[in-house]
Amino acid sequence: MDIDSGAVARAVADGFERQTAWLAKLASFDSTRGNEGPAQDWLAGEFAGRGWEVDKYAIDEAAISGLPGFSPVVDADYSRAIQVVATHRVSEPVGRSLILQGHIDVVPTGAPELWSQPPFEPRIADGWMYGRGTADMKSGVSAMVFALDALRSLGYVPGSTVHVETVSEEECTGNGALSTLARGYRADAAFIPESMGHKLVRAELGSVWFRLRILGRPGHVLASAAAGSHAILAAMGYIEALKTLTAQINAAAVTHPYFGAIPDPVKFNPGKIRGGDWLGSVPSWCELECRLSVLPGHSLPEVRERVTEAVRRCAEAMGADMPVLTWIGFQADGHVFAPGTEAEALLDEIHTGMIGAPLETISMTATSDTRFYDLYYGIPALCYGGLARGMHSPAEAVDLESLRKTTEIIALFVARWCGLRRV
């Protein structure tokens, strides 16, 4: 059963004021890591109210720790890592099944002085909604939900099983997405509406997170500290060594088939530093937490070995003990999503009709949940959504017109991929 695209556009438009208010409500939850529970409780209630089966659960680390794609859990209480899967179940499908997945965890807000409004009080200005999580990616979650709402307002439900998943841990491990797969949720395709500016992710980088615990040789500041003795200054040396490693990787990356045209695609970020105890003493310790990108085709063991060797050589040059090196979060493979799937062909057709230009693909210099479905479970996966700016910054915002278009596109994709049944 086909559906008129104009009718879908009108249904989405008719519900868009409600969708915008719904998104603002979702973005008002502080769903930073460990605090996702209230947002997930609210979503579970919203999904149950739509008549979907709801499975709300905490991640069981033991159930996923041996699976491909698992990242180690450090400094996190997984009893608070709440996931929600809502299912529209069909026993006799007329089409193909689908996973619609979005993450509701958001990155920390950072210095409050940099925000022009409270980060969890969304505001709309000039057609954009501002606030932490509006773009990354609670707007995508609203598009998933209101695409299905638009179809129902026209008297239709999907003709095949659809799992609507809202996960956490996307920003730090990906273990939320992995847990849904370990729990048995599978489909013929997965669609993750991250804010990609109406472009499809063809390739994405992975990443490794690690911590260096650096020990110095403390003493009174009246004595000059030898190289490597001052733990905080030694951290600067390790940062420079890892920047050199990153430059070496980027120099070789110019021949990479998907990232060679992007200047310096691999990023190194020393994201957190803490250390020392007393201003009159040479610091005895410093902890440095870092992120390094991983190119598709570079194995995680290889990347970890190169990091270890760079740190070892730097310690040796300073005459210092080797820091304790711990892998603390993302251990994510880079991945290329092969062209030619039926799901991509359908999205291209719908996108071209809606946007008026063929679907463009991009190589993303970041990491998403999309790899889990395609790389580890053989489920064709699409990462595609609306227009955003300022993600991970105090200027984070989503373009509402692009959100409306994304919602229409998802509704048409569901209709043509899953088929439709009359309510």
Contact (CB, 8 A) for 414 and 98: yes
Give CA–CA dist 389/170, Å, rounded.
19
Q: Which stretches of 154-230 are DSSP H helices?
A: 175-182
At 26-80, the pLDDT tens digits run: 999 999 999 999 999 999 999 999 999 999 999 999 999 989 999 998 889 999 9
Average pLDDT over residues 256-273: 98
120-141 confidence digits (pLDDT tens)? 999 999 999 999 999 999 999 9
Q: Roughly what angle, to the nearest 10 degrees, separates helices 400-418 and 5-14?
A: 130
Long-range contacts of 262-267 (CB under 8 A, 24+ apart): 262/363, 262/365, 265/205, 265/293, 265/295, 265/363, 265/365, 266/205, 266/292, 266/293, 266/294, 266/295, 266/365, 267/291, 267/292, 267/293, 267/365
Sign of CA dihedral 413, 414, 419, 423: negative
Number of domains making up the chain: 2
- Check residue 420 and give its pLDDT: 97
> Is the pLDDT assigned to residue 222 strictly greater than 70?
no
Give the pLDDT mean for 284-300: 97
Predicted pLDDT at 225: 66
Cα(62)–Cα(58) distance, integer angstroms: 12
Q: Assess whether pLDDT exceeds 70 at residue 315.
A: yes
- Residue 218 belongs to a domain with what CATH number? 3.30.70.360
Domain boundary among 286, 316, 332: 332
What tokens does 409 get?
């596109």
So what's the pLDDT on residue 223? 65
User: Could you say which of 270, 305, 332 is where a domain stops?
Assistant: 332
Residue 360, CA distances (Å) to 39, 250, 349 in order: 33, 25, 12
Strand 190-192 and strand 381-383: the pairing is parallel
For residue 102, the tally of other CB atoms under 10 A from its CB is: 25
Distance CA 411, CA 9 (A): 9
229-243 pLDDT, tens digit per residue, is: 899 999 999 999 999
Residues 157 and 267 in one domain: no
Average of per-residue pLDDT across 339-354:
98
Q: With 0.85 as the threshold, say if the pTM is over it.
A: yes
How would you class 190 by CB atoms within 10 Å of its CB: exposed for 0-12, middle for 13-18, buried for 19 or more?
A: buried
Last residue of a domain, one of 317, 332, 347: 332
Same domain (yes/no): 53, 98: yes
pLDDT of 219: 85
Mean pLDDT across the chain: 96
pLDDT in tens, 183-193: 999 999 999 99
195 and 216 in a single domain? The answer is no
Over residues 136-182, the pLDDT tens digits come to 999 999 999 999 999 999 999 999 999 999 999 999 999 999 999 99
Domain residues for the domain of 135 are 5-204+334-422
pLDDT attached to residue 239: 98
Same domain, 218 and 188: no
Q: What length is written for the chain?
A: 423
Pairing of strands 162-167, 98-103: parallel
Is residue 64 located within the same domain as residue 190? yes
Please report how many Cα atoms fall inside a 13 Å half-sphere around the Cα of residue 344, on the Cβ side: 19
